[in-house]
Amino acid sequence: QVQLVESGGGLVQAGGSLRLSCVASGSIASINGMGWYRQAPGKQRELVARIATGGSTNYADSVKGRFTISRDNAKNTVYLQMNSLKPEDTAVYYCKVEALSGLYYLAYWGQGTQVTVSS
């Protein structure tokens, strides 16, 4: 079993910055992709950013140029640096990790961390 613990959310004014962290622990043989998703009230959960094992990244168009995803494989940790935050970035942010379980990679989710951007 894999556990994910997120941190770094909070309240920030528009234009400000936050850095989210997500640490994976437990029975981890191998981790593939790591990513961040978000869900605003009344909306579906959406991909914010994902980083593959080799470091390649992809971002939602709405955050390109403002957010940066990175990972530390030795620490099983993924980060999301969020700059130039906007009120529309307000959401619960979830970490997702694809970890090897037996022969397959399974998706594990964190509990979510609230990010609120005031105007």
pLDDT value for 1: 83
The pLDDT value given to residue 27: 81
Each residue's pLDDT tens digit, 22-71 = 999 988 889 999 999 999 999 999 999 999 999 999 999 999 999 999 99
> Which value, to the nearest 10 degrees, does the dihedral of the CA atoms of residues 8, 13, 16, 18 take?
10
pLDDT value at position 102? Answer: 84
Half-sphere exposure of 23 (CA within 13 A, CB side): 7
Q: What is the distance between the alpha carbons of residues 114 and 119, in angstroms, rounded to a whole number?
A: 16
Q: Per-residue DSSP letters for 59-117?
A: E-GGGTTTEEEEEEGGGTEEEEEE-S--GGG-EEEEEEEEEEETTEEEEEE---EEEEE
Question: What pLDDT is attached to residue 28?
Answer: 83
Q: What is the pLDDT of residue 20?
A: 98
Residues 55-114 pLDDT 10s: 999 999 999 999 999 999 999 999 999 999 999 999 999 999 999 888 889 999 999 999
